Each structure stands twice: as structure tokens, then as C-alpha cells.
């Protein structure tokens, strides 16, 4: 099957959405399918065309940036060209260009599936509110034109106005893809020695430095944690410099990073075995996002696969990994005290929160995600009208396994 994946940012950009599409695309290629990614050339130094892990990547030059978005006059002609050659179009929202590409699918008789990854909430300001409103209209048009709408959990769908509109009609729940590179015991030990982790309780956070990630909540919780565990150290994996649209936020947090320099270490973006080693050395992972721009938190599954429990904020969708597995605690959103207490409880008895890592890994494998999408794509190609589906069997297995503990 020839599949066209369309999203605004693709690798080497680092975000949950781009990693999701990368993992799904590679899994589809491994299963013998032809995958093309249509995206922006957000950095002019990136090649217009390349093949990454068997995935064809087509980048369209950016004429203008609008907040965190981009305008690409050339995406229309390129979308026509690629859509004619494809069997199914898969859009990833939020995305300004989605309705135009969905319309092309309609005209060409190509099935269109849409995955809604999260809401878009831009920084305060009149201009950003206008941009946000335009994107909402574009998203709604794309959803109307799409044959099926996909999201990660029913919990997020039930609490998101955009997705609620499609419940009972064409909403599908598909688990997100999670995979990590192999990591030997020697790799994990080398990471431990490199960062001086022996004798310390390690708290992890894996996120780019962005306002919606709520990094300040963890920084504010840290003094409370240090009262009980004075040896504790936070390792922050993820990009933290020159993040588009986050310059003011980074400047605001800079004094806190300096204040807690002995207990908070910014690692930057980690890849491959080093990222896996990061998770293997954690005692707890913190998810402290503040709003519905976070819909799940793939990093939670990455941590759980490596026996690291999670202290997750009580946002729709985000609370689901802990709720389904029992591997951690759910805390109030934006509450440093609640986060600190959850972290302390987990640090005090990490083993009590650990679960079957193999079952968790199997439930969110990219191959399983690809199979679910292929089933949907095949049904759409065969003319079957997409209808609302229950949560996938993988989620039920996780809940059943928790009930036996």
C-alpha cells in the first residue's frame, strides 16, 4: 500500500508528534508498505528530498513563520502530485494545511484518515488568539472532509470538544507507537558514571523546554523533594536551547536552573542507546504538563518499559498510562506540592509501583500500531464507512493485568 503521511514538522525536529509519525512510518515500511512523508523544510539547510530508514521525506520550503506555524505556498502543488500516486492520505493535526490536502483526497477519490494528536494553545496575545482561531477552523474543515478521525484514548476524546464531535460516528482509538534502541548493562553503567548518579535518587523529565510542559512545576516541587531525599537529582532530557516560540519561557526559567544547578541537570536531546540508558537509570519520571496540548505523553511508556514509575499530571489522556497500568501516581495539574508528594512516595518504594514491562512494551509496539492503522486504511479503501470503535484490546489487557496485582 502507498501511504502519504502529512505533518508540519518531521525529523530531525523533536516532539511527541514527530516521533510518533517517524515510528509509525518506519513500522509501515518494515511491513512492506511504501511511505512518503510530506512536511516543511523548516530549516533551509535540510534537504528537500531524502530517504530516512526507508521512509521517503519530501520537504516544502517555508515562506513565512506565523508563531509556531509555517506558511508553505508550494505545499498545494506538491500535495496534488503526491496524492495522485498514493492509496491513502494520513493527516496529522494540528496542521494549518490539512483541509486543503483532505479536499484533494476527496477530489481524487483517495481515503483520508486524520490523527488528532493534541490541541493547539499558543502563548497569550491578540495575534496568537487570532492564529489559534484560524487553526481551529482549519482543523474542523479537515475533520469534516476526513473519512476517519483517530486519537490515542477515549478519555482524551471525551474531554476535547474537537474530538467529541466525531464520537459515535468516525472516531477510532489506536495506541501510539513506542520503541527504544537496545541498551546493554555496560551502556547503562557508562551513562550512570558519566553523570555521577551513584548514591542519588534520580528524577527524570523528558520534554522540550516549552511552556505547556510545566517544567516550573517540577522546579517548584524540587525543594520539597530535597527535604526528604537531599541526594535527589533531576535529569532533564530534551532540547532546551533556541526552541521556536519559547525564548521568553526559557529566559524566565534560567534563574531557577541556576539556583538548583546541583540538583537539576539539562542533558539536551538524547538518542539511541543513550536515551534508553537515561530511562534505565531513573527512579521516577515526572509528567507535569499544564494543558490539553499534551494528550498522552509517549515518554511515560518509554519509562515504564524500563521499570521507571511515573508521577503524571491529571490531564485527560495523560493520566491513562498510569491509570491503565497502576505504574505510578496521578497528581493535580500545576500543583508542585502534589507532585512532590507523589515523587516522594515513589522514591520511598519504587518496587511497589513496578509492573510487567514486557506487556506494556507489547501493547504500544510500533508494529501493533501499524497493524491497527492498516486495518483502518484497508477498510476505507474497500469503501467501508468508518464508524466509532471501542478502545483497543491492548488497553483492556493492561487494565485486566492491573486488577490481578
Give 267-285 pLDDT, tens digit per residue: 999 999 999 999 999 999 9
User: Number of C-alpha atoms within 13 angstroms, CB side, residue 183?
Assistant: 23
Residue 211 DSSP class: G
More confident residue, 139 or 223: 223
pLDDT band of residue 60 (cuts 50, 70, 90) is very high
Please report the pLDDT score of residue 94 as a whole number: 86
Please report the pLDDT score of residue 292 as a whole number: 84
Based on its alpha-carbon atoms, the radius of gyration of the chain, rounded to whole angstroms, reads: 21
pLDDT band of residue 227 (cuts 50, 70, 90) is very high
Q: What is the pLDDT of residues 110-123, one digit of tens each?
A: 999 999 998 876 55
The set of cell numbers assigned to 337 is: 506540592
- Residue 201 near residue 232 (C-beta atoms within 8 A): yes
Lowest mean pLDDT among 172-181, 340-349, 377-386: 377-386
The set of cell numbers assigned to 8 is: 508540519
Query: In this model, does residue 126 exceed pLDDT 90?
Result: no
The set of cell numbers assigned to 320 is: 491513562
At residue 117, the 3 state secondary structure works out as: coil
Which residue, 133, 84, 85, is CA-closest to 107? 84
Please report the pLDDT score of residue 376 as a whole number: 95
**Mean pLDDT for the stretch of residues 343-358:** 95
The reply to whether the predicted model has a pTM over 0.75 is yes
Give whole-number Cα distances, 103 to 2, 39, 99, 123, 170, in Å: 19, 17, 6, 30, 17
Residue 333 DSSP class: T
Lowest mean pLDDT among 98-102, 205-209, 386-390: 386-390
Between CA 31 and CA 378 the distance in angstroms is 14
Domains of the chain by residue range: 2-177+365-397, 185-359
Please report the pLDDT score of residue 386 as a whole number: 59
Specify burial of residue 404 (Cβ count, 10 A radius: 0-12, 13-18, 19+).
Answer: exposed
Please report the pLDDT score of residue 96 as a whole number: 84
**Per-position b or e across 362-397, b if 16+ CB within 10 A of its CB:** ebbbbebbbebbbebbebbeeeeebebbebbebbee
Bin 31: left if φ > 0, else alpha if -120 < ψ < 50, else beta: alpha
- Cis amide linkage into residue 295, ω under 30° from 0: no
More confident residue, 402 or 330: 330
Q: Domain 185-359 belongs to what topology?
A: Rossmann fold (3.40.50)
Query: In this model, does residue 230 exceed pLDDT 80?
Result: yes
Q: Angle CA(30)–CA(26)–CA(210) in degrees, nearest 5?
A: 165
Query: In this model, does residue 404 exceed pLDDT 60?
Result: no
Please report the pLDDT score of residue 405 as a whole number: 42
At residue 17, the 3 state secondary structure works out as: helix
Please report the pLDDT score of residue 41 as a whole number: 95
**Mean pLDDT for the stretch of residues 72-96:** 94
Average pLDDT, the chain: 92
Please report the pLDDT score of residue 387 as a whole number: 66
Which residue, 129, 290, 279, is CA-closest to 210? 290
Instruction: For residue 78, give every residue at least 6 positions away whose Cβ sits within 8 Å of its Cβ, in sequence order, or none.
Output: 38, 58, 60
**Mean pLDDT for the stretch of residues 36-64:** 96
Q: Does domain 2-177+365-397 have CATH number 3.40.50.720?
A: no
Percent above pLDDT 70 for the chain = 95
Please report the pLDDT score of residue 168 as a whole number: 86
**Mean pLDDT for the stretch of residues 44-59:** 97
Same fold, 2-177+365-397 and 185-359: yes
Q: Angle CA(52)–CA(53)–CA(58) in degrees, nearest 5?
A: 30
Amino acid at each position: 500500500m502507498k501511504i502519504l503521511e502529512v505533518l508540519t514538522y518531521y525529523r530531525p525536529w523533536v516532539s511527541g508528534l514527530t516521533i510518533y509519525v517517524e515510528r509509525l512510518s518506519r513500522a509501515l515500511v518494515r511491513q512492506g508498505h511504501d511511505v512518503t512523508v510530506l512536511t516543511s523544510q523548516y530549516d533551509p539547510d535540510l534537504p528537500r528530498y531524502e530517504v530516512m530508514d526507508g521512509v521517503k521525506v519530501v520537504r516544502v520550503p517555508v515562506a513565512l513563520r506565523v508563531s509556531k506555524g509555517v506558511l508553505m505556498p508550494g505545499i498545494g502543488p506538491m500535495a496534488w502530485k503526491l496524492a495522485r500516486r498514493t492509496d491513502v492520505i494520513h493527516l496529522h493535526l494540528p496542521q494549518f494545511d490539512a483541509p486543503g490536502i483532505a479536499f484533494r483526497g476527496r477530489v481524487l477519490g483517495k481515503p483520508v484518515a486524520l490523527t488528532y494528536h493534541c490541541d493547539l494553545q499558543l502563548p497569550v496575545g491578540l495575534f496568537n488568539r487570532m492564529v489559534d482561531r484560524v487553526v481551529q477552523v482549519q482543523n474542523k474543515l479537515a475533520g469534516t472532509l476526513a473519512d476517519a478521525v483517530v486519537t490515542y484514548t477515549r478519555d482524551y476524546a471525551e474531554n476535547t470538544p474537537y474530538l467529541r464531535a466525531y464520537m459515535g460516528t468516525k472516531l477510532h482509538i489506536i495506541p501510539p507507537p513506542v520503541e527504544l534502541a537496545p541498551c546493554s548493562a555496560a551502556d547503562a553503567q557508562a551513562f550512570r558514571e558519566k553523570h555521577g548518579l551513584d548514591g542519588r535518587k534520580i528524577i527524570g523529565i523528558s520534554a522540550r523546554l516549552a511552556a505547556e510542559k510545566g517544567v516550573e512545576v517540577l522546579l517548584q516541587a524540587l525543594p520539597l523533594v530535597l527535604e526528604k531525599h537531599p541526594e535527589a537529582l533531576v535529569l532533564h532530557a530534551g532540547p532546551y536551547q533556541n526552541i521556536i516560540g519559547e525564548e521568553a519561557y526559557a529566559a524566565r526559567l534560567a534563574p531557577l536552573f541556576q539556583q538548583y544547578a546541583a540538583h537539576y541537570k539539562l542533558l539536551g536531546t538524547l538518542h539511541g542507546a543513550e536515551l534508553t540508558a537515561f530511562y534505565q537509570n531513573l527512579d521516577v519520571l515526572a509528567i507535569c504538563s499544564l494543558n490539553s496540548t499534551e494528550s498522552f505523553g509517549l515518554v511515560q511508556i518509554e519509562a515504564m518499559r524500563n521499570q521507571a514509575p511515573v508521577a503524571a499530571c491529571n490531564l485527560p489522556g495523560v493520566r491513562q498510562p498510569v491509570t491503565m497500568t497502576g505504574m505510578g501516581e496521578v497528581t493535580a495539574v500545576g500543583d508542585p506540592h502534589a507532585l512532590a508528594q507523589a515523587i516522594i512516595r515513589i522514591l520511598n518504594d519504587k518496587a511497589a509501583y513496578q509492573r510487567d514491562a514486557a506487556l506494556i512494551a507489547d501493547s504500544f509496539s510500533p508494529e501493533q500500531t501499524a497493524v491497527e492503522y492498516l486495518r483502518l486504511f484497508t477498510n476505507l479503501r474497500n469503501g467501508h464507512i468508518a464508524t466509532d470503535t471501542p478502545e483497543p484490546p491492548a488497553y483492556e489487557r493492561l487494565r485486566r493485568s492491573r486488577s490481578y496485582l
